Structure 1
Amino acid sequence: METTSSNNESILVFERPNQKAKLIANYKTNPQMTDIVFHYELTGHNATTWGLSYQECQNVFSKFDIKVRDKSDTKGQGLFDIGTHKNWYYTINLHPDAQDFRNLIRELIGFSLRGHKSKKFDCA
């Protein structure tokens, strides 16, 4: 995980010559249930963003509602789902082990909720 500030953590999930995507966790000390605290951000061609509220993060985290598949219709890309956000590409070379990537996503969502991360992800 990359620390972007004292209250943000991010991981690069997708990279091509004309595109990059990150998952970004924002920790707020006193969030409202509707505050967006977790983002997907694709830059470059077909740029898009989406986010999860604090309440959605709680649901995804508690139910472990994250799926990662190391196959897709595009060579070198897998797919991941987070809650209702389905079929987003990730670059397998960045995250070669699907289970580890799933755990890393959950840990990042946990950062949005708790403001700290597990020591096992300090070098990720």
Structure 2
Amino acid sequence: MTCPVLVVEDEALLAMMVQDLLVENGCEPVMAANGREAFALIAQARIFDLAVIDLNIPDGDGATVIRALWNRWPVPVIVSTGYQDLSHEMREALSPFAGPLEVISKPWSEAVFLDLVRRLLRHAQGRPT
């Protein structure tokens, strides 16, 4: 059985790499290239086991996508960002919400990414579907 993963990434090459890594590891990536597409997928009320979200995306921002997602489900999120560290203000903006959050700074290695994916998916397994 595959695990559905919401991927919000506007860099085409990185989006393809994330998609390939997830498929190779038994997941079903559901891709969005911008905030508008991500909000549409969230509005479909589909349940995801995990989300990989870039903070700096067109037609919205990653933090708003995360909040919208967490308003529906406390899904674990990997924030993929070009910033070296998630700012204190960004963490504060997301803190009232329920989901686990991990940050990975670009450029990241496949091994580190997959380790985070596996760890967060184990966390999500106990969540009702």
Between structures 1 and 2, the one with greater helix share: 2
Q: Same fold (TM over 0.5)?
A: no
TM-score, normalization: structure 2?
Answer: 0.27
Which structure is higher in strand share?
1
- TM-score, length basis structure 1: 0.27
